[in-house]
Structure 1
Amino acid sequence: MHTEEISPLVESAEAEFMYHYESAATPSTARLLGITTARIGGGVALAMRHDVTGYWNKALGFGVTEPVTAELVADVADFYRVQNAPGAILQIAPSLLPEDWSEIRRRHGLTPTSPWIKLVGDIGDVATHHHTDLSVRAVDPVDYPLWSSTVLRGFGMPTDGLADMFAAALTHPGFRPFAAWDGDDMVAAANLFVHGTVGSLNATATLPTHQNRGAQSALIAARAAAAAAAGCRWLSAETGRPADGEVNPSLNNLRRSGLRPLYERQNWAWSPAGS
């Protein structure tokens, strides 16, 4: 399958799991974090007014069912303005950008920031077994709160509000959470989102005390097996592009497991002061 054919599939899967993470928040959690979500122009816009991480204000999934236009970007900017968001990141696959994107992004003050790499693997090419001395298995609902706090601690994010948001989202039928245990202790966690023919890997984090013990690769393998069992044809993931001379262990783990870079996706930062 060519990039132009698979880009809409994997971009849509990513947009949907992000939408469900933030939309699942209970009313009290949504008030605490200042969460508002919207579907705009075939994509999703996610606002979190009280986000201290810089991660949760983002808009993505555009260009799949409707073209990316100046009017669409204006609607997205208006959404974040109304929500009093401190800023936001727009994520659009390069093959889905319009020819006049340079003019559109200048008009709305969008500035390039750290790019991400989108990776994809044919489900038959991704490893479904990886040895580790940790115990890796699917997470039962009773452990959803523990899974949520483990992911956030692994990413260095605060747990207040966000842990409740994550735990609520895991009840969505498309999510398949997994974790790695060292004895009775959960030390790494990851999620799979099944969206049609795509299994989207996300929320993979290992506690600092247990890094370099094969948890990430084992969690990729476990989720690949689950995606195959769910009838997925493709496995996708996204991670940051390492700076020159640096290494991104997550990127290396994904590549060793059988996923291949599909494209580099520039992140575009929107600021209320710059639009």
Structure 2
Amino acid sequence: MTAPADLTPLAEAVECEFMHSYESQAPGPTYTELGIATTRIGGGVALAMRNDPSGGYWNKALGFGTTEPFTVQTLDRVLDFYRKQGVDQAVLQLVPSVLPAGFDEVAAARGLEPGSTWVKLGARPGDVATAQTRLRVAPVPAAEARRWADVVLSGFGMPTGGLTDMLAATVGQPAWRPYAAWDDGELVAGGNLFLHGEAASLNAAATATGHRGLGAQSALIAARARAAAEAGCRWLFAETGKPAPGQQNPSLNNMRRAGLVPLYERRNWVWRAAS
């Protein structure tokens, strides 16, 4: 893959925007029910979901340090936002290269703890490999938006309900390209694609338990890469967890097999409200 010197700003921006889109554009009653609040700080976003049924995944801040420096003052503004929203826990996803000097000490003084590491991957859409599966892969029709959302959420171990409404709302939106895989008439796997200028992002990919191992995710990656190319995007990004030594992450394996290349690793910093 021939790439610019640093794809980090593009990769971080598209993830920042798709997370902001998921939460900020949730339907009105769902927005209120889940206790969603969003704000833009220091070139990034801070997203709060006070009544997050997943246990905290949707309380997330990211996208910092690419358009302006990430400073201690920016960090304090982010943490003040979460305190104001009354959330118990949030994750700050920070690229190591943007951290100010002495950040470990700064973080510890504010109750942040280093958590898991994610891998950011990228490729040109046209370089993504094709894939074969007996399943039918196609865009998600409006009539199956909720079924698609439920399959994705269940695959991540998240409860359905309000989160179903939030994910299903992306079907038919101009910046989103949700895809699914069907076994005969049964929707059994899904994945989403977000378009942002010259960049696109793979996200929200999961397969129902009884249909894993059939190549659904490889086919969904290929289909979404084609959609990104058709939309004029020059770069395709994704992120997933870095496995522990001696372990495997099937999502990472699928992405690498499809031709996405690891670009950098990013730490999740966990903040918990003082008791």
TM band (smaller chain): over 0.9
Residues 4 and 95, structure 1, Cα contact 8 Å, conserved in 2: no
Q: How many angstroms does 1:142 deviate by?
A: 2.5
Match of 1:8?
9
Match of 2:153?
152
Give distance in 2, aligned partners of 1:26 and 1:177: 17
Q: Which amino acid aligns with 1:32?
A: E
Deviations 1:130-175 (A, max 9, x none): 1001000111222222211111122121111000111123343111
Q: Which runs of 4+ in 1 moved over 4 A?
A: 1-4
Match of 1:51?
52
Give distance in 2, aligned partners of 1:199 and 1:271: 32
Equivalent of 2:128, from 123, 126, 129? 126
Matches within 5 A, 1:189-204: 189-204=190-205
1:271 aligns with 2:267: no
SS of 2:39's equivalent in the other structure is: strand
Q: How many angstroms does 1:49 deviate by?
A: 1.1
Residues 3 and 262, structure 1, Cα contact 8 Å, conserved in 2: no
Give distance in 2, aligned partners of 1:44 and 1:213: 37
Give distance in 2, aligned partners of 1:16 and 1:4: 22
1:89 aligns with 2:100: no
Give distance in 2, aligned partners of 1:42 and 1:104: 20
1:78 aligns with 2:80: yes
Give distance in 2, aligned partners of 1:235 and 1:11: 12
Deviations 1:162-198 (A, max 9, x none): 0011112334311101000001100000011111111
Deviations 1:222-254 (A, max 9, x none): 001111111111111000011111110000000
Tell which deviates more after alignment, 81-90 or 26-35. 26-35
Matches within 5 A, 1:1-275: 5-53=6-54, 54-127=56-129, 129-273=130-274
Give distance in 2, aligned partners of 1:107 and 1:196: 38
Residues 89 and 267, structure 1, Cα contact 8 Å, conserved in 2: yes
Report percent identity of matched pairs. Answer: 56
Gaps of 5+ in 2: none
Q: Which amino acid aligns with 2:88?
A: P
Q: How many angstroms does 1:83 deviate by?
A: 0.5
Q: How many residue pairs end up in the alignment? A: 273
Give distance in 2, aligned partners of 1:172 and 1:8: 24
Q: Which amino acid aligns with 1:93?
A: V
Give distance in 1, aligned partners of 2:23 and 2:150: 16
Gaps of 5+ in 1: none
Give distance in 1, aligned partners of 2:249 and 2:127: 22
Q: How many angstroms does 1:2 deviate by?
A: 6.3
TM-score normalised by structure 2 residue count: 0.95
